[in-house]
Amino acid sequence: MKLSKIHSLIFALLLVPFIFSYAKGQVATVWKSSSQPLKEMKEIRKQIRAPKFAAREFTITKYGAVGDGKTLNTEAFMKAIDACNKSGGGRVIVPLGTFLTGAIHLKSNVDLHLVDSAKIVFSSDPKHYPIVFTRWEGMELMNYSALIYAYGQENIAVTGNGTLDGGASYKTWWAWNAARPSLQVKARNLLHDMNHKKTDPRTRVFGDSSFLRPNFIQPYNCKNILISGVRMINSPMWNINPVLCENVTVDGVKIIAHGPNTDGVDPESCKNVLIKNCYFDTGDDCIAIKSGRDEDGRTIGKPAENHIIENCEMKDGHGGVVIGSEISGGAKNIYAINCVMDSPNLDRILRIKTSSSRGGIIENVFMKDVKVGTYRDAAVTCNMFYEQPGNFIPTIRNIWVENLEVEKGGNFGLYVKAYKESPVENLKMVNCNINGVKTPMQIDHVTNLQFENVKINGQVARVPDGL
């Protein structure tokens, strides 16, 4: 053997421990006690700061708005926001009255503030929503603007104790999904196909006659966002959907919508998100953390990262705290504490949903101090078969649930459906008491499943043989 080849072989052998060490470094650290994630959460909280605004006010009625519930005020909102932005920022005031409008586009350093009992009602005419760059179910495209939209802005807010009415009903936006066959299914399938083929998102032009409903509030690629105090009703689709944003606070918002896909708060591919003191009564997931669907999610590769959920109340919904299903970019460092959930129409408490068409790594999920009256399906769910299979096996690891109290459960206490080649790793439940379930556990592939002082239907939970 030549000397150069011997040197190469020796060098390669010397690298093996470092390569192995690096690979090990990619595996999530397993928490030994709840003090570890609580400490991590404290450090993340320090990074999240709500934006502040200059003490200047721009009342929309001074720009031509009429609060009679009939006059279309889109132009007045635009003028007030432009003036506020150009002056260096401040508050755009929505006074007492009912103000009908089309899309509202926020700009940097603008706080859209509703005084007590003020109301903004959004038009149900699609023509009042221009085509913008957006995401729809985790896929990028050109489509109807969200009702309140911002792109590439900093320091923006929607605040106050007024009401935002999305104007949706089964006679308007919701009819697009409720019709049988669904009016939106053709466009949805086409968008899926474009996603799989990795076409340029800006050439994926939808909108008119495509029937892909807009979301309610969507800041896209923005920083320093606050949504606080408002009551949101009748959203066409997802309610609050920040995409690729950083430093997001949602505080004291009340969301009520029982139409199709009317999720509460769906942060997508965002970093440093705080959702606190909110109320959810929804037609889909209450909070659903996302990071893009399939090819779009993997191409962008931006995980959902550093999310804190606390002091929230969940009523109806497919899930209380949910991760997925559009989660191809992965999710990590998700913390949910001190929440209350209670409804026979709430399906799950903690729900992780993904599939092998998604891929991605979901890790470091911590839930503590959650009180539940009743739910319908499962307290804790990890499901890798949520939608059609593909070639990207997902990973779910390091899940910790502590102090979960359930008065009357539904079908399952713990439900896990995973791949044999990719079992759920390091799932631990501590000091949990789940009552009234039909089946305590239905689980297949889990490694290092641990129960510590867990009772289901009054019986001590034990790890099934063979796991």
CATH code of 377's domain: 2.160.20.10
215 pLDDT band, cuts 50/70/90, is very high
Do 208 and 349 have their domain in common? no
Mean pLDDT to the nearest integer, 99-121: 98
Q: pLDDT tier at 344 (50, 70, 90 boundaries)? A: very high
Residue 366 lies in a domain: yes
pLDDT in tens, 312-343: 999 999 999 999 999 999 999 999 999 999 99
Q: Is pTM, for the whole model, over 0.75?
A: yes
Q: Are residues 318 and 356 in the same domain?
A: yes
Q: Is residue 90 part of a domain?
A: yes
Instruction: Please report whether residue 262 resides in a domain.
Output: yes
Residue 20: the pLDDT is: 35
Dump pLDDT digits (tens) for 67-105: 999 999 999 999 999 999 999 999 999 999 999 999 999
What pLDDT does 12 receive?
Answer: 39
Domain count, the chain: 2
Shared-domain flag, residues 426 and 308: yes
Confidence of residue 466 (pLDDT cuts 50, 70, 90): confident
> Is 67 among the domain residues?
yes
Percent share of the chain, pLDDT over 90 = 92
- The answer on 180 and 130 residing in a single domain is yes
* Domain termination residue (choose one: 253, 284, 315): 284
Determine the pLDDT at residue 242.
98
Domain extent at residue 117: 29-284
Indicate which residues carry an active-site annotation. Answer: 284, 318
Going by pLDDT thresholds of 50, 70 and 90, the confidence category of residue 25 is very low
What's the mean per-residue pLDDT of the chain? 94
Is 140 among the domain residues?
A: yes
Do 271 and 308 share a domain, yes or no? no
Q: Is residue 15 part of a domain?
A: no
Assess whether 320 and 348 both reside in one domain. Answer: yes
- Residue 28 pLDDT grade (very low, low, confident, very high; cuts 50, 70, 90): low
Using H for helix, E for strand and C for coil, what is the string for the chain?
CCHHHHHHHHHHHHHHHHHHHHHHHCCCCCCCCCHHHHHHHHHHHHHCCCCCCCCCEEEHHHHCCCCEEEEECHHHHHHHHHHHHHCCCEEEEECCCEEEECCEECCCCEEEEECCCCEEEECCCHHHCCEEEEEECCEEEEEECCCEEEECCEEEEEEECCEEECCCCCCCCCHHHHCCCCCCHHHHHHHHHHHHCCCCHHHCECCCCCCCCCCCEEEECCEEEEEECCEEECCCCCCECCECCEEEEEECCEEEECCCCCCCECCECCEEEEEECCEEEECCCCEEEECECHHHHHHHCCCEEEEEEECCEECCECCCEEECCCECCCEEEEEEEEEEECCCCECEEEEEECCCCCCCEEEEEEEEEEEEEECCCEEEEEECCCCCCCCCCCEEEEEEEEEEEEEECCCEEEEEECECCECEEEEEEEEEEECCCCEEEEECCEECCEEEEEEECCEECCCCCCC
Provide the pLDDT confidence category of residue 251 given band limits of 50, 70 and 90: very high
pLDDT-derived band at 27 (thresholds 50, 70, 90) equals low
In a domain, 234, yes or no: yes
Question: Residues 350-409: pLDDT tens digits?
Answer: 999 999 999 999 999 999 999 999 999 999 999 999 999 999 999 999 999 999 999 999
Residues 458-463 have a mean pLDDT of 97
pLDDT tier at 467 (50, 70, 90 boundaries)?
Answer: confident
Whether residue 18 has pLDDT greater than 50: no
Q: Are residues 332 and 403 in the same domain?
A: yes
* Same structural domain, 246 and 386: no
307 with 279, same domain: the answer is no
* Predicted pLDDT at 201: 98
Q: Decide which of 221, 256, 284 is a domain's last residue.
A: 284
Q: Are both 276 and 369 inside the same structural domain?
A: no
